[in-house]
Structure 1
Amino acid sequence: MPICCNQEGPAVKSLFTLSPFTMVNALFVNWVSFVMISGWVRPIWKRQHIFQTRVLPLPCWSLISGVAVFVITVGQLRAAPPSVDNLPCPIVLTQVAVEGSGDLIATPYPGTLVGVNRPCRLVLLQPGREPEILLPSFFATAEADVFFDGKKLLLAGKPEANAPWNIYELDLETRTLRQITREARDCRSPSYQSTQYILDAPLPWFQITLFRVLSEEASALTGTAVSSLFSCRMDGSHFRRLTVSHAPDLPGTLLPDGRIVFASFRSSYPHDPQVRLDLLAVNTDGTDPANFLPGIGARYKLMPTVIPHGLLGKLVFIESDELTPDGAGQIACVDLRRPLRTYQRLTEDRAWVYHSPCALPDGRLLVSRRPRTGGSSFALGIFDLEARAWTPLFDDPRYHELLAKPVAPRLLPDGRSSGVDDNASCGTLYCLSVYDNDLGDQGFPKGSIKKLRVLQAITDPKTAANRQPRFPFRVLGEIPIYPDGSFQVEVPSDVPLALQLIDEQGINVRTSGWFWVKGGVHQGCIGCHEDPERVPFNRMADALWEDRPRIEPSASLTVPDFVHDVWPIIQRSCLNCHTPPRTRPWLAPSADPAHPGPVSASPAFSYAQLVRSADTPSSAEAADAAPVYVVPGAARLSSLVWHVMSKNLAKPWDGEWPSRPYKPWPNDPEVQPLSQKDVQIMIEWIDTGALYDRQHPFAIQ
């Protein structure tokens, strides 16, 4: 049965968009009324001698009358049901209730409304008509997207207060509502994909992208649950996870070539341990994730949208150097033709911040704006990219106007095919040459990289929260690198992975960002951080001549830990010097400050002294911070390794780390240097995550 939408809505229009005739007429009527009332009240006031007050002069009465008339007039105008007659086209937006002065929307997933527990609703604005509340019988509706013909809406909705969020499609012509998702709970931020096809399907089909928070996965990077993008067909079938990370991924937009650009929480630990939001691109089946704007723009980039214009189209997004509670920031853009060379900031507004841009058919932007410090709600306006000016369009002070979309036809992006096998437990990862990189002459010479180490991030909430150090992972396995720098390996699908390059000394010289591989596909890269605008030479890589090794999904390489492997070395070679009151760091506690001297040493105490400072962003970021003895995952940056090898092992691409001082091993015949085997154990222990106890890897120590 069709669900009809209410034609009435209390949303109001900005006072400054009312016609002059309406303003003058209301002022005149109220002024006449007030003159008549004051003419009757003033004589009575004169006769009330019991107040023993002087009668107010006529100018004071005029001033009081004027103020009262203005207040009454504004109140009447603000309460009047508005008609929206200056819209460029119909617009659908989400209204979120304001809960007081200075109100800000706070969410752990910026740019979304997830976790915002307050009334929200979808409102349709049409030229010359009153605002229309869509689906008024629903407890909550939000986050609409418009189909390519402009006749249907995707939306997230809750029919009742205790119902989960699901995705629905509303036909704007017939007002029929159809539910898409059912069994998958709490689906948000839907958007249409273009056509999808496979070789054995008779016809292509449309799909949608949606956003979900996964309470069963925890992110040690953000301290929140992991969130990901998913897809399904228009009937809710073929539900598939698209992005697989160790940290939250946020909703994105569809590019003209059919890919999805989305925001993802990342970190370049230990070089830059601060959390950031990068823009990544991925195919609509979840394959080939890639950084879309590496190292460009502000620290936090989110809420991307496309202004399609052929090869001259732009990607517009919100960015900021400090993440706001709602994700609002300044507007920036890049050209889709050369995004790495065309970045520009469109606003530098100290008084205002912007939220959820979306392109209009004429190339301007619908975008919401609020004061930087709060104090009033988000208002909807139009941003002109050429004039770089924002013009107010619609504002109801009782609501935040967000996530506006034009209800108009738009170009259909390119369709996509897929070879993903959702039942496959592995996918193939290959690389043409690890020596193709962005390091130039400072990079590692050919033949110096001997092994590839494969890591998997840990997102189990029962383990990730209790694991030391800060970024928990496990080692899945290692494979050899071929002389030409190529490799090929089968890795587990749909898990967050990272790679380490191991040199002839057994040291990790470079670590990749986190990515994933879909089941049954071959996913490759040219090199390691190679020039993304260059095409490689056509050559046959050595790794392709032989059968590829396979790392099983259940695999876990046995790696050194502190309790069983490193602690015996420290007892044997370090405690003689590193106990109170001798050389710091003290690897054993003092019995009493007044009577210095070691008490019984314990591995837990020593581990805390070595690893604790490396787990804080400030100490790993600043050269003058507290000593960093162990940087989990990077032995080349750990002063413990520098000490036992009497050498700073940081590489030229490690920022300021090569300039940090180190303390060499004592030149004392009584202090025997560590054996090469012991040194290798320490290096491998640090590079594989500085695990405390592999038998109890997730216990709090």
Structure 2
Amino acid sequence: MASPRLGLFAIFALAAGLSPLGTSGCTSTSDSKSDTGVGAIVFMKRVHTVVDGQGVRINVSGGNGQVIDYERYEPGGSLALLTPPRADGKLVNLTAAFPQADLNGVDVSFDARQAVFSMKKDKNDRYHLYTAQLSEGENYEVHQLTAGDYDDINPIYLPGRRIAFVTNQMYTEMGTRSDEYEHARVVTQLATISVDGGDADRRLFSQNLSHTVSPFLRHDGKLGYSRWEHLGAVNDVKLFTANPDGTNMIAIAGEHGKPANSLINVREYQPNVMIGVATTRNRTIHAGSLVKIDARNQADPVCLDAKANQAGHACLDEEHVTYTVLTPDVPTMSTPSPAGRYREPAVLPDGRFLVSWADGPVNDLSEQSETPPDFGIYLYDAASGRNQLLYNDRATWDLGAVPVVARAEPPVIGDLAGRQDTSLPVRIGSIDVTQTSLEDKVTGGQFKDTPLRAALKDAVAVRIIEGFSSEAAKGVTMFGLTMHEGAAVLGEAPVYQDGSWLANVPPYIPVHVQPIDKFGMSIRSQGLWIQGVPGEDRRCVGCHESRTGQGVPRYGQNPTIAEQRQALNFVQAVGDRYELPWDKNETASKPYVQQILSAKCASCHNASTTTYYEVSRTDPGTGQTTPYKIPVLDLSDTKITAYYDQQVKEWNASYVSIFYPSAMEMGRVTVKGQVPKMWGVPGSARESQLIAKINVKAKDGSTAWPTPLHPEDKGTTLTDEERRVLILSMDLGGQYFARQNTGFVPFTSGNPVAPGTKY
């Protein structure tokens, strides 16, 4: 599909067989007086346009459609060393022995003598890690560090001759995670190796449910990284940090008030002050606006003084991060840009930044118009807000430039996890669950706009929920008509008089928690996944307590009551974990939702008693409009058809009645008739009108609402367990499917998380 409007020079150069590493003015232009203050840079050249006997093929968005996808491959890429970094510098192709290669991440060692990079040698290979010596005297020697039937990308150097990166390697009973919302794309997780041992010293971190990418080095020797957070309605990319052994994963920015959906390509240039790219979650080819991220504790003068602030000083304050968009003309959404878009900033010794920048709209529409964006290497000065071109080969994307300059190596952090038994549990808990810095209000049941700190005094237990995604459900890309992923209750740990609780949970898996009241309803559902490596202690002060405050046990109790009574054990096999599918539970000993509704509710609430409203969806391609008849309250198992998230499927009438009013928040439909109240609010039983209608009674005889119990007022009785099932179905997120009713079989071949394990 060639077009005369497409980068004609790029097509000419490729067709004529010109080297993509040519240094003539035809393939790169810059001011020969450009001064970066460093002697060389190393960067990746990635092909976007291929000319062959079949014509012209353009790959802009493939593998880059979402903000942190990684599977884009086109042959002909290379790792380039430019000395000095300007148009008349010497350009060396460090991977000339691999003419069909593509690259995905590069970093330079602390002594500036070596680079680590990710390379896929040809179409039959996977992305693996390599090192290249950066001295001509060492013949730019290349060594392979990792192998296997998986991809390793985005490497960075860590203190102590270790390398951090991300991988899509399978290593838990759940196999390789596949993000549920984005329909089974294989996601990446963090790992490390040693420079000397490679795969023989491979260490795998605990898993996130969605992508983890773009690790970066912090001043204190820890690594930071971007993490796609998908938990119910939460769907964005935040910044986290962890120790080099995978312990102590905590958020550092992006939970509160960030200027865009996603923060990626971040680099720290003074303690807890970072530069990165702010962008939307998709359609921008990993590019966006440059943003300064200041996560220092603004109330601590030492934190604001770069000279006085030493590694180890408690300066991080993720609740009050300030963001400064450095390129305000560049949109942080997917709309066309009047000022191009930026990728992959790197910090120069004098405080300026190397960036990749492309003019024009820079989104996946470039593929349709056959005008691929042209990323080149630029010097960006934050003081003036101007770019200065250093190098641009119009036939390739020039990405990920890193200065080749020696830098201080942060202190080595000892291996806290150790090489211990990988079956050891993770311990989680709180000193006092009521300690919180959140200003949320709680409504529903006994609460009416009650401050969270006061509402948490009603907590009697903490529910611990495992999350899983479409890797666990054959043929399922969404777990129902809600945004929530798969869920299993690992257990409910009691909250003692001093507010403490403690539990042991399986290692590596993502979990989130819900403090629950005496009625069994969640007071607040935590909106971040937490996880740990074997033997790790993840106890915190409270329920999202202040990072800059000091946690003090209630009544001065030390140890807490939970510690005195020891942690409850919630480690169990995958098949034994409590899940709650809506229909057709294959585990006969466990009730399911439709079973209760059919027995106790459907005789009064069915197709003959309900009213309807109409939802219409117009196909953007054909213009054809299709109406769907939605019941207001039919609690039977009658199958009806509904449209949700670009799919038309059959569901139980009860499920559509309860959850479709919240599903319509996805948009893309028009409504005719009166939409009913929110019978089911995914993730919140106390805000769900169905739970308010049936009401719920505690063991002390009190009810959550002052209204009569229903259907008892009509002569039918719901047991306490049946009410608990209905409450759980709301609090867990309103899933229709589960592992038990989709044929999931856990991965059990050997020990998938043993150090040094290879596949």
Q: How does 1:596-635 map to 2 (within 5 A)?
A: 602=638, 604-615=652-663, 617-618=665-666, 628-635=678-685
Among 543, 568, 573, the alignment partner of 1:549 is 568
Task: Please state if 1:94 is matched with 2:28.
Answer: no
Among 405, 417, 425, the alignment partner of 2:414 is 417
* Partners of 1:622 and 1:543 in 2: CA distance: 52
Partner secondary structure for residue 545 of structure 1: helix
Task: Please state if 1:213 is matched with 2:171.
Answer: no
Contact 1:10-1:81 within 8 A present in 2 as well: no
Partner secondary structure for residue 679 of structure 1: helix
Task: Please state if 1:150 is matched with 2:112.
Answer: yes
For the aligned residues, what is the CA RMSD? 3.8
Point out the structure with max Rg over C-alpha. 1
Deviations 1:115-139 (A, max 9, x none): 2335321111112533221120113
Contact 1:104-1:325 within 8 A present in 2 as well: no
Contact 1:358-1:365 within 8 A present in 2 as well: yes
Q: Which has the higher helix share?
A: 1
Task: Please state if 1:519 is matched with 2:553.
Answer: no
Task: Please state if 1:191 is matched with 2:156.
Answer: yes
Change (3 A) 1:334 1:690: closer
Amino acid at match of 1:349: D
For 1:277, the equivalent position in structure 2 comes to: 237
* Partners of 2:237 and 2:321 in 1: CA distance: 19
Q: How does 1:351-390 map to 2 (within 5 A)?
A: 351=338, 352-374=340-362, 375=371, 376-390=373-387
Partner secondary structure for residue 488 of structure 1: strand
By how many angstroms is 1:93 displaced? Answer: 1.0
Higher relative contact order (CA 8 A, sep 6+): 2
Partner secondary structure for residue 510 of structure 1: coil
Change (3 A) 1:261 1:372: farther
For 1:451, the equivalent position in structure 2 comes to: 461
Contact 1:332-1:347 within 8 A present in 2 as well: yes
* Partners of 1:390 and 1:526 in 2: CA distance: 46
* Partners of 1:698 and 1:643 in 2: CA distance: 31
Change (3 A) 1:683 1:403: same
Task: Please state if 1:249 is matched with 2:212.
Answer: yes
Contact 2:74-2:102 within 8 A present in 1 as well: no
Task: Please state if 1:78 is matched with 2:26.
Answer: yes
Contact 1:12-1:82 within 8 A present in 2 as well: no
Task: Please state if 1:487 is matched with 2:513.
Answer: no
* Partners of 1:622 and 1:636 in 2: CA distance: 28
Among 303, 308, 319, the alignment partner of 2:269 is 308
Change (3 A) 1:306 1:570: closer
Task: Please state if 1:121 is matched with 2:78.
Answer: yes
* Partners of 1:110 and 1:211 in 2: CA distance: 15
* Partners of 2:635 and 2:605 in 1: CA distance: 12
Change (3 A) 1:673 1:267: farther
Change (3 A) 1:665 1:378: farther
Change (3 A) 1:378 1:627: farther
Change (3 A) 1:480 1:557: farther
Contact 1:620-1:628 within 8 A present in 2 as well: no
**Structure 1, 484-493 or 567-576: larger mean CA deviation:** 567-576
Among 621, 642, 646, the alignment partner of 2:692 is 642
Among 563, 567, 580, the alignment partner of 2:594 is 567
Partner secondary structure for residue 456 of structure 1: strand
By how many angstroms is 1:548 displaced? Answer: 1.7
By how many angstroms is 1:571 displaced? Answer: 3.6
By how many angstroms is 1:187 displaced? Answer: 1.4
* Partners of 1:280 and 1:220 in 2: CA distance: 21
* Partners of 2:693 and 2:670 in 1: CA distance: 20
* Partners of 2:568 and 2:28 in 1: CA distance: 72
Change (3 A) 1:87 1:93: farther
Q: Which runs of 5+ in 2 are unaligned?
A: 1-17, 50-55, 171-175, 298-316, 331-337, 363-370, 440-449, 584-590, 614-628, 640-651, 698-704, 745-759
Partner secondary structure for residue 636 of structure 1: coil
For 1:61, the equivalent position in structure 2 comes to: none
Contact 1:252-1:260 within 8 A present in 2 as well: yes
Change (3 A) 1:414 1:300: farther
Deviations 1:309-334 (A, max 9, x none): 4x5x6211111246334121111112
* Partners of 2:459 and 2:321 in 1: CA distance: 31
Change (3 A) 1:283 1:464: farther
Deviations 1:482-504 (A, max 9, x none): 12211121111011111121111
Change (3 A) 1:622 1:479: farther
Among 451, 476, 483, the alignment partner of 1:442 is 451
**Structure 1, 155-164 or 218-227: larger mean CA deviation:** 155-164
Amino acid at match of 1:423: D
Contact 2:256-2:321 within 8 A present in 1 as well: no
Amino acid at match of 1:226: V
For 2:479, the equivalent position in structure 1 comes to: 468
Change (3 A) 1:176 1:322: closer
Deviations 1:287-318 (A, max 9, x none): 11111112231343333433434x5x621111
Amino acid at match of 2:26: R
* Partners of 2:712 and 2:568 in 1: CA distance: 47
Deviations 1:17-71 (A, max 9, x none): xxxxxxxxxxxxxxxxxxxxxxxxxxxxxxxxxxxxxxxxxxxxxxxxxxxxxxx
Amino acid at match of 1:210: F
Partner secondary structure for residue 86 of structure 1: coil
By how many angstroms is 1:625 displaced? Answer: 7.2
* Partners of 1:696 and 1:260 in 2: CA distance: 37
Partner secondary structure for residue 287 of structure 1: coil
Q: Which runs of 5+ in 1 are unaligned?
A: 1-7, 14-75, 196-205, 587-592, 648-661
By how many angstroms is 1:682 displaced? Answer: 1.6
Q: How does 1:396-407 map to 2 (within 5 A)?
A: 396-407=393-404
Task: Please state if 1:226 is matched with 2:253.
Answer: no
* Partners of 1:601 and 1:160 in 2: CA distance: 52
Change (3 A) 1:251 1:625: farther
Change (3 A) 1:284 1:613: farther
Change (3 A) 1:118 1:110: farther
* Partners of 1:261 and 1:169 in 2: CA distance: 22
* Partners of 1:410 and 1:353 in 2: CA distance: 29
Q: How does 1:319-358 map to 2 (within 5 A)?
A: 319-321=278-280, 323-338=282-297, 340-350=320-330, 351=338, 352-358=340-346
By how many angstroms is 1:544 displaced? Answer: 1.6
For 1:535, the equivalent position in structure 2 comes to: 550
* Partners of 1:436 and 1:233 in 2: CA distance: 40
Partner secondary structure for residue 322 of structure 2: coil
Amino acid at match of 2:282: L
Contact 2:273-2:294 within 8 A present in 1 as well: yes
By how many angstroms is 1:689 displaced? Answer: 4.8
Change (3 A) 1:673 1:258: farther
For 2:609, the equivalent position in structure 1 comes to: 582
Task: Please state if 1:265 is matched with 2:228.
Answer: yes
Among 132, 149, 161, the alignment partner of 1:170 is 132
Amino acid at match of 1:377: D
